[in-house]
Chain A
């Protein structure tokens, strides 16, 4: 296991900073999204949504809509109830006794959040459909709403009239309760922290969109959807709408980001399918931005209580965590499981002997939550990284020193964690050292002290976050143990065409990650061709029938591995053919840059391109060999992968106004071997921005009645480049032993690391004033108030 601070080795194209092949089309506007598809005769759908957080639907009068210009049809939930052969799917019933209300695409008699669908209208244009939707008269009888998460957990108000409790499940991971009790009883130092993970609106650049085109005579449906999961969607649409799976083809054209929000099966996808079936016409729907704020899942939404027991030096002896997790109004595809993806990581990068985790999932009358970039792991990392700073403050030690004292040592990998995971590889101290050097930690601490001494009103704060995540979802056996209904494998096919060009079919479904570039780089090196000669086919179930799609930083370590294995199998076959042509034994051949040559007589050689043509003509194949050079592989990972690193945020806090400026940011990440460090940079950049967004800017705010107040970008503050400094990026490389390429995953790391780093920095800036906690997002007003509350008489707020 090697650890360096440079980019990976660059023999061939793998490891080089090749520019993304996807980008010219995306940047020039030539890429086609669902909304861009021209489908003659398509009807446009508009959805009538509940303006109440909780209400009984007493009547739905469609007459106004039906009389509206251009309208083809309009349906209430009751009229559509017969379209569904089962309720909306949840693939992750985390406990055997989990409670979940029935969830239909269109509510029939009770609506449970603002945005819950009550009727659907189709018209010949989107504008006409929207005008007609506004003419649907729905009578509601308002019911009390469970809005606040902790209040909902008390069952004072029930989120669904059919439930006896809002508590959906309680899931525990307590390997040794006595050990935890003992540790807390004997600890010299304990901290007990409460953090709120505010709800976030994923806000992908492209809102959702669906277009379902029925095929003539066949009873088949082509479903175009802005989705991350064409394969899972196909199966779930079939089950829910009662269409045989083989009659559905799902295509995800260019998809403008998802961040987990398109890892779902949505009412509108089912509605378009059902209406296309009923009306025998194409039906399409394009989500609007404000609609997306309430009709697409939210992320986060937890109240966390974390306790650490530590010795006098800050060495952590036990971690105890209690979570309340906001499910929202319904279980979407993996809603209940999101907190569990963090359940194993609340001890973070630290060697902790005792552990207790409990999570209760709670229904509220708000938009359902589900996976959002990091899904459970940002929440876990936030809690432990904030709490470890609390320990450092309590014992008066430098936070980097307390981290160092607790790190899982590099010689303990593979490391069996107290929570039952096996961390594949790591060198946490090396990443910390590199990050501190990159940011200039010692000088910053001196500058911080100087400003404090001078009584400056612009204070400096330095925040650390050392993280590890489990990604590369996931070994199918482990998913079974967590009650997830599917596996975690990925499939790939590699074939050489008669002219020596290469076609790769992947079950991963890119929506911004650059898979076409990365996959073609992997295959180019394997087969000795140029990446431009590799065609990557994806995101169409007719082209790529097998796959489990893209989420959980899985595509490279699982899907990329499947491609590498398929390419190896193709080479194995080509070797037999080459041996046949060159009349030598297969083991006497060596492959280099796409050429098989005979060991010891290099002039006797044949290239893969020529072999592909031979295999295509099939004029002279070895006995029993099938034509064509093609191989498939399905890879089920043996373990998760565990990327890690340390991020350092530097903030200036204006004590007079409370304004926080992020002035410097250094990130050292270790995702194992890198296929394309430029793509890694991009993932880290975007990830950091999204993590900073949670720390300082974004929050889905509800009022007491359950109305979402942040439905436009005027109120929901997504930061832009002007709010962010240039990031200083570094890398260590600790290959994963779990897969042949030694890769880990980088899609979520930045988001996981950044949020606690930034909030730790703000608290660090103000800690000498007694500030220990500021709720996220850390707004100027909250900072101002915390200064006033913590240190009256300092001239700040109150």
Chain B
């Protein structure tokens, strides 16, 4: 429970953080809410030489109405997304999912940017951002770039974010109706064994939690729906092409089964809520 020795630096601006990152990108980690990184460090599964704390960088905590989308600052804490009027009005899926992450301590410290950048397939927010056709805004030494959520999650704990870059904003398409989130776990505080974020307005997008090395879309389900299939038939294709993990909480076979049940429930709920 004691991390390996590391150097701690507190950044006052994104530019300062980027400067420190560029000095030794491979052994420097950004610290935001700390609720993914610090447990890994305490278990010594992560041993960064330098921690750059961006938790107090001003101007990166906001939820803004930006026309066709909502922009969320990377340092916005889960609780602040959950209770944001803008999020609740325009992307209620995001607000709801933010309220399902971990436990109250996690939701009051953890940040949306931290959760997305960590790229854990068992996390809820990546699936919500994927279902909402999100765009990730990244700042780095080569300037600013935008990456679609579908291209951002590359592998287990691996994203499009380079070691010398900072995720600064998350943009999600407005979807005031026709959404649902299903989280299946054994204790309220746990990661989902399987989770489903679904948006059915304007073509269904169904994203799955913990059904592969990254958060993934249920392509089989989406194709079936596009081809006019009913919900049950489409849900049965949810695990198509996916390789979910087997662990103490559930076998791959069980996860595949859960995906069919939870996708069906999510689609029924999303449709009932105005899809």
A residues sitting closer than 8 Å to B (CB atoms) are 126-127, 130-131, 288-290, 656-657, 659, 696-697, 701, 709-710, 712, 714-715, 717, 719-720, 722-723, 779-781, 784-785, 797
Residues of A within 8 A of B191 (CB): 714
16 A-B pairs, CB-CB below 8 angstroms?
Answer: A127-B5, A130-B2, A131-B5, A657-B258, A657-B261, A710-B248, A715-B248, A717-B187, A722-B187, A722-B188, A723-B187, A779-B249, A781-B250, A781-B254, A784-B254, A797-B257
Query: Which residue of A is nearest B257, CB measured?
Result: A797
Residues of A within 8 A of B251 (CB): 781
Residues of B within 8 A of A131 (CB): 4-5
Query: How far apart sit A717 and B188, CA to CA, in the bound complex (Å)?
Result: 11
Query: Which residue of A is nearest B194, CB measured?
Result: A657
Q: Apart from A696-B186, A781-B250, list 11 A-B contacts with CB within 8 A.
A: A127-B5, A130-B2, A657-B261, A712-B43, A715-B248, A717-B187, A717-B190, A720-B189, A722-B187, A780-B250, A797-B257
Is B227 close to A, CB under 8 A? no
Query: How far apart sit A373 and B82, CA to CA, in the bound complex (Å)?
Result: 40
Is B62 close to A, CB under 8 A? no
Residues of B within 8 A of A712 (CB): 43
Q: How far is the CB of A115 from chain B (nearest CB, A)?
A: 16
Q: List the 6 shortest-distance A-B pairs measured between CB atoms, nearest first.
A: A722-B188, A781-B254, A127-B2, A288-B1, A656-B261, A781-B250
Option from A290, A709, A710, A779 in Cβ contact (under 8 Å) with B43: A290
Residues of B within 8 A of A781 (CB): 250-251, 254
Option from A289, A290, A697, A784 in Cβ contact (under 8 Å) with B257: A784
Contact in complex: A722, B189 (CB < 8 Å): yes
Query: How far apart sit A288 and B43, CA to CA, in the bound complex (Å)?
Result: 11
Interface residues of B in 244-260 (CB under 8 A from A): 248-251, 254, 257-258
Contact in complex: B184, A657 (CB < 8 Å): yes
Q: How far is the CB of A776 from chain B (nearest CB, A)?
A: 14
Query: How far apart sit A715 and B247, CA to CA, in the bound complex (Å)?
Result: 9
Query: How far apart sit A779 and B257, CA to CA, in the bound complex (Å)?
Result: 15
Residues of A within 8 A of B262 (CB): 657
Query: Which residue of A is nearest B182, CB measured?
Result: A657
Q: How far is the CB of B231 from chain A (nearest CB, A)?
A: 14
Looking at chain B's contact residues, the main secondary structure is loop
Q: How far is the CB of A656 from chain B (nearest CB, A)?
A: 5
Residues of A within 8 A of B5 (CB): 127, 131
Query: How far apart sit A720 and B257, CA to CA, in the bound complex (Å)?
Result: 27
Q: How far is the CB of A644 from chain B (nearest CB, A)?
A: 31
Known: A130-B2, A288-B1. A720 touches B188 (CB 8 A): yes
Query: Which residue of A is nearest B258, CB measured?
Result: A657
Query: How far apart sit A712 and B190, CA to CA, in the bound complex (Å)?
Result: 12
Contact in complex: A780, B186 (CB < 8 Å): yes
Residues of A within 8 A of B254 (CB): 780-781, 784-785, 797
Q: How far is the CB of A798 from chain B (nearest CB, A)?
A: 8
Residues of A within 8 A of B4 (CB): 131
Q: How far is the CB of A3 from chain B (nearest CB, A)?
A: 39
Residues of B within 8 A of A697 (CB): 186-187
Query: How far apart sit A709 and B251, CA to CA, in the bound complex (Å)?
Result: 15
Residues of A within 8 A of B190 (CB): 714, 717
Interface residues of B in 173-189 (CB under 8 A from A): 184, 186-189
Residues of A within 8 A of B250 (CB): 779-781
Residues of B within 8 A of A797 (CB): 254, 257
Q: How far is the CB of B37 from chain A (nearest CB, A)?
A: 15
Contact in complex: A659, B184 (CB < 8 Å): yes
Query: How far apart sit A710 and B189, CA to CA, in the bound complex (Å)?
Result: 17
Most buried by B among A657, A701, A797: A657
Query: Which residue of B is nearest A289, CB measured?
Result: B1
Query: Which residue of B is nearest A660, CB measured?
Result: B186
Contact in complex: B248, A701 (CB < 8 Å): yes
Residues of B within 8 A of A659 (CB): 184
Residues of A within 8 A of B43 (CB): 290, 712
Query: How far apart sit A719 and B103, CA to CA, in the bound complex (Å)?
Result: 13
Residues of A within 8 A of B248 (CB): 701, 709-710, 715
Contact in complex: B187, A720 (CB < 8 Å): yes
Residues of B within 8 A of A709 (CB): 248
Query: Which residue of A is nearest B1, CB measured?
Result: A288
Residues of B within 8 A of A785 (CB): 254
Q: How far is the CB of B262 from chain A (nearest CB, A)?
A: 8
Query: How far apart sit A480 and B43, CA to CA, in the bound complex (Å)?
Result: 46
**Binary flags per residue of B37-55, CB closer than 8 Å to A gives 1, else 0:** 0000001000000000000
Residues of B within 8 A of A657 (CB): 184, 258, 261-262
Q: How far is the CB of B4 from chain A (nearest CB, A)?
A: 8
Query: How far apart sit A714 and B43, CA to CA, in the bound complex (Å)?
Result: 12
